[in-house]
């Protein structure tokens, strides 16, 4: 069960965020703010305390706080993002994280290792980590050593077609796993109850489980129906403006 969530409001610079889909257009800042507020309200309705940080105008992608840290029940790991323009974001997160964790429980990924939280999926005491354009092997090895000292296991998952691991695969607890694209038949996930997301709704694979509720992006009816059929309470949240800069539901918060 999660008790806390950290989020950060998008700044006006969100219009300059990194994107692989410029054809979607630039985000509308005011609409992004409204969507972000609805997102935080959805999280609060799941029984967590949400800490909302102020915008960082100098970092257009800084609303995607998930990439800056991995927060576990035993330790916090401050990441080292693979996107150079995002490196400075972590400096603004350290004191925030230390307000929740003892100083000796806060660890760091160091150069030449890179790690972004969007590549990290927690399944009980095992953390699956995407080997991606943003997370390299050295970063995964450092992460594995840190988590190993804390009694966790790490499994690397090479990927080639999506930005982050959780772009295409997300754990809903209870053995249920949303999978899309290159992860549909991935042997690493053969033991899970895999719910296959159709290609035309691939963005909808990025759902988040929060204390028995699953928050689902609005506009993906097949995904919504599949999650409801599993028996979860569902909340729909519109993330259209964040999709324009390669972000989804999980990217917008740290849940712990």
Q: 92-141 pLDDT, tens per residue?
A: 999 999 999 999 999 999 999 999 999 999 999 999 999 999 999 999 99
Distances (CA, A) of 244 to 22, 99, 117, 168, 214: 7, 32, 19, 17, 22
Q: Is 247 strand, coil or helix? A: coil
CA dist 110 and 73 (Å) reads 22
Non-local (6+) Cβ contacts of 48 within 8 A are: 2, 3, 4, 5, 210, 211, 255
Domain ranges of the chain: 4-255
Tell me what pLDDT residue 83 has. 97
Tell me what pLDDT residue 241 has. 98
**CATH fold for domain 4-255:** 3.75.10
CA dist 114 and 223 (Å) reads 32
Task: Label residue 148 exposed, middle or buried (CB < 10 Å: 0-12, 13-18, 19+).
Answer: exposed
> Which neighbouring-strand residues pair with 210?
213
pLDDT band at 253 (very low <50, low <70, confident <90, very high): very high
Tell me what pLDDT residue 122 has. 98
Tell me what pLDDT residue 106 has. 98
Tell me what pLDDT residue 20 has. 93
pLDDT band at 171 (very low <50, low <70, confident <90, very high): very high
CA dist 80 and 116 (Å) reads 7
**Total-model pTM:** 0.97
> Rg of the chain's alpha carbons, rounded to an integer?
17
pLDDT, tens digit (0-9, with 9 covering 90-100), for 7-57: 999 999 999 999 999 999 999 999 999 999 999 999 999 999 999 999 999
* Among 145, 166, 180, 134, residue whose Cα is nearest residue 75: 145
Tell me what pLDDT residue 226 has. 98
Taking every pair of Cα atoms in the chain, the longest distance, rounded to a whole number of angstroms, is 45
pLDDT, tens digit (0-9, with 9 covering 90-100), for 62-101: 999 999 999 999 999 999 999 999 999 999 999 999 999 9
pLDDT band at 247 (very low <50, low <70, confident <90, very high): very high
Q: What values do phi and psi take at 227, rounded to 5?
A: -70, -40
Active site residues: 164, 251
pLDDT, tens digit (0-9, with 9 covering 90-100), for 186-238: 999 999 999 999 999 999 999 999 999 999 999 999 999 999 999 999 999 99
Tell me what pLDDT residue 198 has. 98
CA dist 195 and 229 (Å) reads 11
């Amino acid at each position: 069960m999660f008790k806390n969530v950290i989020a950060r409001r998008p700044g006006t610079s969100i219009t300059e965020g990194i994107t692989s889909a410029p054809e979607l257009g630039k985000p509308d800042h005011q609409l992004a703010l409204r969507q972000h507020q609805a997102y935080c309200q959805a999280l609060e309705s799941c029984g967590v305390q949400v800490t909302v940080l102020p915008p960082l105008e100098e970092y257009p992608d800084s609303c995607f706080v998930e990439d800056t840290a991995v927060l576990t029940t035993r330790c916090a790991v401050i990441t080292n993002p693979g996107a150079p323009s995002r490196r400075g974001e972590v400096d603004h997160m350290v004191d925030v994280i230390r307000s929740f964790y003892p100083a000796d429980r806060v660890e760091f990924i160091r150069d030449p290792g890179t790690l972004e939280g969007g590549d990290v999926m927690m399944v009980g005491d095992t953390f699956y980590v995407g080997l991606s354009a943003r997370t390299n092997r050295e970063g995964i090895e450092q992460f594995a050593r840190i988590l190993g000292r804390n009694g966790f296991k790490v499994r690397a998952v090479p990927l080639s077609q999506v930005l982050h691991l959780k772009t295409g695969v997300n754990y809903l607890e209870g053995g249920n796993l949303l999978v899309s694209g290159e992860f549909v038949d991935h042997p690493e996930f053969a033991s899970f109850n895999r719910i296959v997301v159709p290609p035309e709704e691939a963005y909808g694979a990025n759902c988040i489980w929060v204390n028995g509720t699953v928050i689902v992006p609005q506009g993906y009816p097949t995904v919504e129906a599949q999650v409801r059929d599993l028996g979860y309470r569902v909340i729909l949240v519109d993330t259209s403006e964040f999709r324009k800069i390669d972000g989804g539901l999980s990217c917008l918060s740290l849940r712990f």
